[in-house]
Amino acid sequence: MQGFAGFMWLLSMALIVFSGFALFDAAIRREDAYRAADKKTKPFWLIILGLAFVVNLIFNILSFLPIIGLIATIVYMVDVRPAIRALPGGGRSGRGSGSSSDGPYGPYNGGR
């Protein structure tokens, strides 16, 4: 029985790390990248992934809520993250992500 408890603890820690990584990844992506990829909004994913992270911290892995959080985290990692990373600049915020004239759908050329 102690081996099973140890396995469940490791699984719980893995879920916490997985949901924490997804939350961090969602936080560093640009807000306009979510709209450009047509994947809801950044605040929506931050709330969903934040709730999944907190649920994984509070509840036992055998309860129902961590499973829902795991599904939401998997959806982000498998569907939303690759779509955002496929955009020019990888959807990352910061100065190195593109020109100052870049819009959410590419560079702005002034109507030329």
Could you read off the pLDDT of 10-68 as tens digits, one per residue?
A: 999 999 999 999 999 999 999 989 988 888 999 999 999 999 999 999 998 888 899 99
Could you read off the pLDDT of 102-112 as tens digits, one per residue?
A: 666 666 666 65
pTM summary value: 0.75
Residues in the chain: 112
Enter the tokens of residue 89: 């600049």
CA distance 32 to 40: 10
DSSP state of 77: I
DSSP state of 93: -
Where do runs of H (alpha helix) occur along the chain?
2-28, 31-36, 42-58, 64-75, 81-85
CA distance 81 to 43: 15
Q: CA separation (Å) from 48 to 25, 89, 100, 108?
A: 13, 24, 31, 33
